[in-house]
Amino acid sequence: AIRITQSPSSLSASTGDRVTITCRASQGISSYLAWYQQKPGKAPKLLIYAASTLQSGVPSRFSGSGSGTDFTLTISCLQSEDFATYYCQQYYSYPQDFGQGTRLEIK
């Protein structure tokens, strides 16, 4: 199985900051990576697929990059509604596992 290592596990930031979350796959997964946002008590929401394609309706301050084994999610100017937990997921092969999650908290 492909291992996905997501970092950091938690992050404190302020409104207006730029933050970056990374995911590393144990072997190459091309661009078969998605990013999700989850708020407490809610189902996850798809933000980015194919490593860098923004899902319809997602604000442009979210962006993704990378291919192969190393990927990043960047939020360019944090808004209050962005404080949540973020997960990456590889769907190159099954099990199509998720990263461990990054909890983004208000500083």
Partner 1 sequence: EVQLVQSGAEVKKPGESLKISCKGSGYSFTSYWIGWVRQMPGKGLEWMGIIYPGDSDTRYSPSFQGQVTISADKSISTAYLQWSSLKASDTAMYYCARHSKMATIEADFDYWGQGTLVTVSS
By CB under 8 A, name the one of 43, 57, 80, 81 that touches partner 1: 43
Strand intervals (E) in the chain: 4-7, 10-13, 19-25, 33-38, 45-49, 53-54, 62-67, 70-75, 85-90, 102-106
Specify the stretch interacting with partner 1 by CB under 8 A; choose among 15-23, 28-36, 59-67, 76-84.
28-36
64 binds partner 1 (CB under 8 A): no
Specify the stretch interacting with partner 1 by CB under 8 A; choose among 16-24, 41-49, 65-73, 75-83.
41-49
Least distance from partner 1 to the Cβ atom of residue 30, Å: 9
34 binds partner 1 (CB under 8 A): yes
Residues in the chain: 107
